[in-house]
Amino acid sequence: MVKAYTQEHIYKHPWERVTSASWRKFADPENKRTLSHVLEVDTLSHKLDPLSGKLYTTRALTVHAPGPWFVHKIIGQDICHCVESTVVDAQSKSMQLTTRNISLQKFIEVEEKIRYEPHPDNPTRWTVCRQQTSIHIKPLSALASMAEKVEQRCAEKFMQNSVKGREVMERICKYLEAESGGIAL
């Protein structure tokens, strides 16, 4: 079984400010407490395509593994390594992030897609964020009957972390707004 959900959030900030905040989300030391599930973030590659003007970035993330404590005991690990691929198209004002786990794949597969675009009703001042997440617990003989419950717990934790992420993004956007003197970017 796969647990999937979507969320949409409107940032009342311009696309340039929101995408700038996205890049700073994990780097800001003030956010370490809020995003305590994120242990480490490293940039693996970045490339600007001169023809399309698109920026391609790949980052490695190390996070606390999702799921209840007893699952950590069974799999013998409480951290998970993920890869985040980002494409930024400044021409069309689109930023898409796709994050997948690369460890623990025998037990769980998680894919998160986040897309930032100008809001259609107020494209110069607001940004819409659409997030899609899918979680698939692979049935283990000992956990086959509990896979659905574990997926649900994981989904709840991901949704809680999404709220924390949005709080951090709002805080960074407000900081960037104050830094620019309230001028829209």
Of 156, 73, 140, the C-alpha closest to 108 is 140
Residue 1's pLDDT is what?
A: 65
Residue 60 has a pLDDT of 97
Tell me the pLDDT of the chain averaged across its residues. Answer: 86
Q: What local confidence, expressed as pLDDT, does residue 143 receive?
A: 56
User: Is the pLDDT at 13 greater than 90, yes or no?
Assistant: yes
* Dihedral angle of Cα 86, 157, 75, 109, to the nearest 10 degrees: -40
- One-letter identity of residue 146: M
What per-residue confidence (pLDDT) applies to 7? 93
What confidence score (pLDDT) does residue 122 get?
97
This prediction's pTM: 0.79
- In this predicted model, what pLDDT tens digit does every residue of 65-98 receive, in sequence order? 766 666 666 666 788 899 999 999 999 999 999 9
* Range with the poorest average pLDDT among 6-15, 119-128, 171-180: 171-180
Question: What is the reported pLDDT for 31?
Answer: 76
Q: What confidence score (pLDDT) does residue 169 get?
A: 87
What is the C-alpha separation between 65 and 77, in angstroms, rounded? 8
Give residue 126's pLDDT.
97
Q: Please tell me which residue, 3 or 73, carries the higher pLDDT value.
A: 3
> Looking at residue 4, what is its pLDDT?
85
End-to-end CA distance of the chain: 44
CA 87 to CA 141: how far, in whole Å? 39
- CB proximity list for 39: less than 8 A, separation 6 or greater: 62, 63, 64, 79
pLDDT digits (tens, 9 = 90+) for 129-172: 999 999 887 766 455 556 666 677 777 877 888 888 888 889 89
